[in-house]
Amino acid sequence: MSVWAVLVAAGRGERLGEDRPKAFVRLGDLPLLAEPLRRLDESGFIDHVVVVAPPGWEEPAILLAEEIGASKVSACVTGGATRTESVRAGVADVPDDAAVIVVHDAARPLLPDEVVGRVIEALARGFDGAVPAVPVTDTVKRVRDGIVEETLLRDELVAVQTPQAFVAPVLRAALDAGDGSDCASLVERHGGRVTVVDGDERLVKVTSRADLERVAGWL
């Protein structure tokens, strides 16, 4: 059974506002991309990695993979205009005989290997997909035009992270069917059964300068 990781790093990082894409902003001594790439490469749960880079950044991504000795990288492909497009581009490069595809945001650099293990292990229990999640601590309301329409039951809410693992053919079919903010939502809409496993606070997504500094402090 081969497990492929698709590492999506093709975003522009507009909210970070640097002179380069987020994946190439410095984190510690190297571009941010090095951290999640090294962790996936070193994971005993992952066999191969496809990196999805911003247009024009494919070559720097390959050079970075070589620099850190990431030997599982099979290809570096060009991302698209949306995250879903970028995932599609990466998945298109995963061979047909792959059993499992794990999609991870490069913007979540501090990937604990036990979370990779948890999402993959959940598929062995018969689920089509598995996502890591953490409890929501704030009260969440649904608001339209500044008016609260509903206060959601916090016990039923979780905040979802990546890595997200899927039975490969299920993810491919869901990606053919539409777009969504994460891969799991596509699989859910396509009738797939997605389960939730424990996420990790270290998997915060680097969006702002403050996030980057927080993550750098945890390195």
Question: Could you list the residues that contact ligand CTP (CB under 6 A)?
Answer: 8-15, 22-23, 52, 79-83, 86, 105-107, 205, 207
CB of 85 to Mg ion, least distance (A): 12
Q: Which CB sits closer to Mg ion, 18 or 42?
A: 18
Enumerate the β-bridge partners of residue 194.
129
Q: Which CB sits closer to Mg ion, 2 or 207?
A: 207
DSSP secondary structure of 83-105: HHHHHHHHHTTS-TT--EEEEEE
Q: Which CB sits closer to ligand CTP, 102 or 107?
A: 107
CA distances, 179 to each of 7, 83, 183 (Å): 18, 9, 8
CB of 28 to ligand CTP, least distance (A): 17
Q: Which CB sits closer to ligand CTP, 163 or 192?
A: 163
Per-residue x/- track, 11-30, Mg ion (CB under 5 A): x-------------------
Residue nearest to ligand CTP as judged by C-beta position = 11
CA distance 162 to 65: 21
Q: Residue 3: which H helix or E strand, with range?
A: strand 3-8
CA distances, 142 to each of 145, 150, 152, 181 (Å): 10, 5, 7, 17
**Shortest CA distance to 174 belongs to which of 76, 103, 95?**
103
Looking at residue 141, its amino acid is K
Which one of the spans 3-11, 108-116, 170-178, 204-212 is the region binding Mg ion (CB under 5 A)?
3-11
> Using CB distances below 5 to 8 A depending on partner kind, what does residue 79 bind out of ligand CTP, Mg ion, none?
ligand CTP
In the complex, the residues that contact Mg ion under the rule CB under 5 A are 11
